[in-house]
């Protein structure tokens, strides 16, 4: 067991936990990032690395699963078709029969990326690879990732509404009464905010709970939290995709015929 | 823009492996993955197997109904061709009958027209003779009237006597 490497990090933790500082256990880091410099931008390298792994895994899965399509669905093809059915049902239920086809790829991508990110973060032994700074983990445990996803959802539902209804989209703001205008405008800001913070908070909290429990009692005790984490990560992916689809459905919905 | 390798190396420190089993939480991860590997294939595999069976059953149903439908189609096509033949036959018969009826109709029309003409001719003849009779009668009546008028003016006892004599002599000659 190495002594704490960065004193400030351990101090950070000791504010959360009533522990003596000099406890000779594994240290826990929060808020450390592997910074890459791209022009003036500082980007979180560990998020990119794990995102690439997730994206690569998804592409490989889809590529291998659809290489030889048969009428009798077996193995991976059957699994992919099952996923497709699931995502289609989700999108159709939320967006409606008329417009869901346009948004099925977007919703499916969101769901699969978040799901595989979450499960990858919870299941892959990322910490075997040590980085110069920070540590690898679920890409969705970084607020930047979830904010990006949530802003994409905002753009998507604005685009969906405007492209389908033109400027009549803004009738949505005065329905059912014009009193709703300020609330609806505030909603446009709270939607991405709540989407991103919900996902980020859940995944980060899950990782932290597991890390803290593993830090206190290395064996067996973190197991329930890890299994629960798998469950909540799956639910979070579902919630994010469902809400994205719901917002798009709300934007393309025709209230009066 | 800086190339990627300088990007990566710009962050000081280094990449490496961390093999400490407690820091990496590897034991718990192994247990969780083992649990998943044990239970997930059963759960997911069951769903996928059921899905596959449903799809195969639907495919089989579809193939069966395809066979049925093609049999019915063949039957219907056969019926169609036989009814086409029947329809052709009926059409030919009908044409022939129509031709016959038309000919007969023409014939009858011509006959009736002849009859009508005949009737009209006889009507005209009857009218002509009737009118002629009438005219004759009228002429006779007029002649008698004129004769009567001229009789009253021209007749005196002398000429009456002469007329009677003449008439008697005429009678005597006859």
Terminal CA-CA length for chain A:
69
According to DSSP, the residues that pair with A43 across neighbouring strands are: A36
pLDDT higher at B150 or A251:
A251
What pLDDT is attached to residue A240? Answer: 95
Hey, CA dihedral for A62, A65, A71, A73, is it positive or negative? negative
Q: What are phi and psi of A99, to 5 degrees?
A: -110, -5
Task: Give the pLDDT confidence of A108-117 residue by residue, as tens digits.
Answer: 999 999 999 9
Is residue A217 predicted with pLDDT exceeding 90? Answer: no
Predicted confidence band at A126 (pLDDT cuts at 50, 70, 90)?
confident
Q: Kindly identify which residue of chain B lies nearest to residue A27, measuring between CA atoms.
A: B23
What pLDDT is attached to residue A29? Answer: 61
Nearest-Cα distance to chain B for A219, in Å, is 6
Determine whether the interchain pair A38/B10 forms a contact, defined as Cβ–Cβ distance below 8 Å.
no
Q: How far apart are CA B159 and CA B170, in angstroms?
A: 16
Which residues in chain A touch residue B11, judged by CB atoms under 8 angstroms apart? 34-36, 45, 132-133
* Chain B residues near any Cβ of chain A (below 8 Å): 1-2, 7-8, 10-20, 22-29, 31-33, 35-36, 44, 47-48, 51-52, 55-56, 59
- Most confident among A76-85, B72-81, B148-157 (mean pLDDT): B72-81
What pLDDT is attached to residue B150? Answer: 82
Task: Give the pLDDT confidence of B4-33 residue by residue, as tens digits.
Answer: 444 444 444 577 777 777 777 788 888 889
Tokens of B25: 């939480």
When the pLDDT of each residue in chain B is averaged and rounded to a whole number, the result is 86
Predicted confidence band at A34 (pLDDT cuts at 50, 70, 90)?
confident
Which of B23, B39, B46, B60 is the best residue to mutate to test the A interface, defined by the most A CB atoms within 10 Å of its own CB? B23
Q: Kindly identify which residue of chain A lies nearest to residue B8, measuring between CA atoms.
A: A36
What single string gives the DSSP state of each residue in B31-98? HHHHHHHHHHHHHHHHHHHHHHHHHHHHHHHHHHHHHHHHHHHHHHHHHHHHHHHHHHHHHHHHHHHH
Q: What is the pTM of this model?
A: 0.70
Tokens of B115: 């009859």
Query: A180 Cβ partners below 8 Å, 6+ apart?
Result: A173, A174
**Minimal Cβ distance to B24: which of A45, A125, A133:** A125
Asked whether A203 and A192 are in contact (CB, 8 A), the reply is no
Specify the 3-state DSSP secondary structure of A31.
coil
What pLDDT is attached to residue A32? Answer: 77
Terminal CA-CA length for chain B:
165
User: What mean pLDDT do residues B145-151 have?
Assistant: 85
A75-95 vs A45-65: helix axis angle to the nearest 10? 110
Give CA angle at A232 (A230, A236), nearest 5°. Answer: 115
User: What mean pLDDT do residues A174-179 have?
Assistant: 85
Residue extents of the structural domains in chain A: 35-252
Determine whether the interchain pair B28/A82 forms a contact, defined as Cβ–Cβ distance below 8 Å.
no
Predicted confidence band at B107 (pLDDT cuts at 50, 70, 90)?
very high
Whether omega before A176 lies within 30 degrees of 0, making that bond cis, reads yes
Consecutive H or E run containing A42: strand A41-44
Determine whether the interchain pair B22/A218 forms a contact, defined as Cβ–Cβ distance below 8 Å.
yes
């Amino acid at each position: 067991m190495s002594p704490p490497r960065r004193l400030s990090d351990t101090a950070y933790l000791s504010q959360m936990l009533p522990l003596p500082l000099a406890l000779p256990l594994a240290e826990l880091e929060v808020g450390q990032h592997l910074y890459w410099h791209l022009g003036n931008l500082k980007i979180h390298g560990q998020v990119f690395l794990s995102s690439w792994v997730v994206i690569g895994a998804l592409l490989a899965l889809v590529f291998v699963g659809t290489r030889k399509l048969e009428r009798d669905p077996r193995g991976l093809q059957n699994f992919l078709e099952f996923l497709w059915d699931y995502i289609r049902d989700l999108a159709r239920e939320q967006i409606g029969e008329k417009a869901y086809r346009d948004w099925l790829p977007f919703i499916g991508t969101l769901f699969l990326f978040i799901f595989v990110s979450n499960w990858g973060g919870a299941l892959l032994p990322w910490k075997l690879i040590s980085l110069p700074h920070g540590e690898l983990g679920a890409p969705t445990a970084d607020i930047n990732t979830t904010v990006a996803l949530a802003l994409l959802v905002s753009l998507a539902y604005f685009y969906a509404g405007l492209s389908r209804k033109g400027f009549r989209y803004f009738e949505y703001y005065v329905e059912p009464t014009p009193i709703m205008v300020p609330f609806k405008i505030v909603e446009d800001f709270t939607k991405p905010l709540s989407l991103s913070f919900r996902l980020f908070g859940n995944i980060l909290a899950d990782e932290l709970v597991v890390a803290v429990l593993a830090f206190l009692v290395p064996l067996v005790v973190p197991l329930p939290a890890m299994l629960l984490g798998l469950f909540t990560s799956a639910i979070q992916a579902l919630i994010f995709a469902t809400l994205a689809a719901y917002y798009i459905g709300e934007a393309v919905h025709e209230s009066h015929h | 823009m800086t190339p990627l390798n300088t990007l990566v190396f710009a962050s000081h420190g280094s990449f490496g492996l961390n093999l400490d089993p407690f820091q990496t939480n590897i034991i718990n991860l192994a247990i969780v993955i083992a649990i998943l590997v044990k239970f997930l294939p059963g759960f997911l595999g069951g769903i996928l197997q059921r899905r596959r069976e449903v799809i195969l059953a639907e495919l089989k149903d579809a193939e069966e109904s395809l066979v049925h439908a093609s049999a019915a189609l063949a039957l219907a096509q056969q019926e169609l061709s036989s009814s086409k033949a029947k329809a052709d036959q009926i059409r030919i018969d009908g044409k022939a009958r129509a031709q016959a009826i038309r000919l007969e109709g023409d014939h009858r029309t011509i006959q009736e027209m002849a009859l009508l003409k005949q009737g009209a001719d006889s009507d005209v003849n009857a009218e002509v003779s009737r009118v002629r009779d009438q005219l004759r009668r009228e002429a006779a009546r007029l002649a008698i009237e004129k004769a009567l008028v001229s009789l009253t003016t021209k007749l005196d006892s002398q000429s009456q006597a002469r007329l009677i004599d003449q008439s008697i002599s005429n009678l005597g000659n006859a």
